[in-house]
Amino acid sequence: MDKVKLGIIGMGNMGSGHVKTVFDRIIPGMELGAVADRLPARREWARDLLPADFPVFKDGSELIKSGLVDAVLIAVPHYQHPPLAIEAFGAGLHVLCEKPAGVYTKQVREMNKVAGESGLVFAMMFNQRTNSYFRKMREMVQSGSLGAIKRTSWIITNWYRTQAYYDSGDWRATWSGEGGGVLLNQCPHNLDLFQWICGMPSAVRAFCHNGKWHDIEVEDDVTAYLEYPNGATGTFITSTADAPGTNRFEITLEWGKLVNEDNANLRLYRLDQNERDFNRRAVGGFDTLKVTEEKIETDGSNEQHVGVLKAFAGRILRGEPLVAEGKEGIEGLTLSNALHLSSWLETTVKIPFDEDLFLEELNKRRNASKPKKGTGATFDTGKSYNEK
């Protein structure tokens, strides 16, 4: 194989962008082989953009069975991600999945198992991992050169959305159609980066406010407290109603504090000594450490979705590294599920948590979910895929 023929399933906000990118042959070694969407309006959009004889299918299963592609990119409502990925692996196709990996970890765990057994390439569209500032933060934290983490804090409230956004599809912001709100729609990248850079917390206590600022049934405002295995603590705050919003990611370590503002300005407040050692040796009650502010330089690369697609093609054709292995999608989702479960039960939740209990609680909300009417869109609850 010298070129990957990619099929794109779902042509909504994200999928339509991927269609344009691949069709314009921006990705070396990749060409568009087919597209699919359940909405007639999106299929018409594709027919207007693509050649008259280009394969446009009514749903993902038709595309997967067509034999026209080597791989698929799945960009549909969240519940459908694992079932379509499993179906694609069964047909011998490589899979690139949009975020999140799914709605609940038990579902994603099955997808990961099938992917591993298939021997096929499986990748996640965690495009924010290509951002040079996040890559540099991970390098600095994981190297241990700044000592152990003492505190994490991410205020990510620049996800402002209007009521019109939520009204644009009847699957949006419903437990049946989307499976969650800001945590599952806007924040999968942030939660992935949070654990990718800082590691997974061991326990969380979250307060998820459903429909606080919008007429929706899922959360649009979240404040969470985290505990890590080494005793470090953290906070995660997000909302789709703050104007203006804030994007500030801080990591306090033994040798100083890393601060990333707006994903584009990384600074290190470096201490002249290890704070833990200084604390034990200092003789004066008000002694302080010397702090030097450093602007951290990076390689400046930030290829985003194009970078993920390039790496996907590179892995299939030449065995090159992926930006994010597909199996890693469960990590950020684990954090998201734990935050939801903590809020639902009004208690601290330890990680790993009871996945059966989470699904039981989620299904209570799905069964009571009421999709919005009159939007002209449809959603699939995923119940046809034998979810328990």
User: For residue 349, is it within any domain?
Assistant: no
State yes or no: pLDDT of 376 exceeds 60: no
Mean predicted lDDT score pLDDT of the chain: 95
Residues 273 and 312 in one domain: no
Between CA 102 and CA 111 the distance in angstroms is: 9
Task: Say how many residues make up the chain.
Answer: 388
User: For residue 284, is it within any domain?
Assistant: yes
State yes or no: pLDDT of 375 exceeds 70: no
User: For residue 363, is it within any domain?
Assistant: no
Residues 207 and 287 in one domain: yes
Residues 67 and 151 in one domain: no
User: For residue 332, is it within any domain?
Assistant: no
Residues 163 and 19 in one domain: no
Query: Can you give the residue range of the structural domain that contains 149?
Result: 129-295
Which among 141, 158, 288 is positioned nearest to 228, based on CA atoms? Answer: 141
Tell me the whole-structure pTM to 2 decimals: 0.94
State yes or no: pLDDT of 1 exceeds 90: no
State yes or no: pLDDT of 124 exceeds 90: yes
Which among 127, 117, 55, 62 is positioned nearest to 86, based on CA atoms? Answer: 117
Give the chain's domain count: 2
What is the mean predicted confidence (pLDDT) over 162-175?
93
Look at residue 377 in the predicted model and tell me its pLDDT.
38
What is the mean predicted confidence (pLDDT) over 197-207?
98
Between CA 273 and CA 99 the distance in angstroms is: 40
User: For residue 369, is it within any domain?
Assistant: no
Residues 204 and 143 in one domain: yes
What burial letters (b/e) apply to 209-236, b meaning 16+ CB within 10 Å?
bbeeebebbbbbbbbbbbbbeeebbbeb
Look at residue 372 in the predicted model and tell me its pLDDT.
65
State yes or no: pLDDT of 378 exceeds 90: no
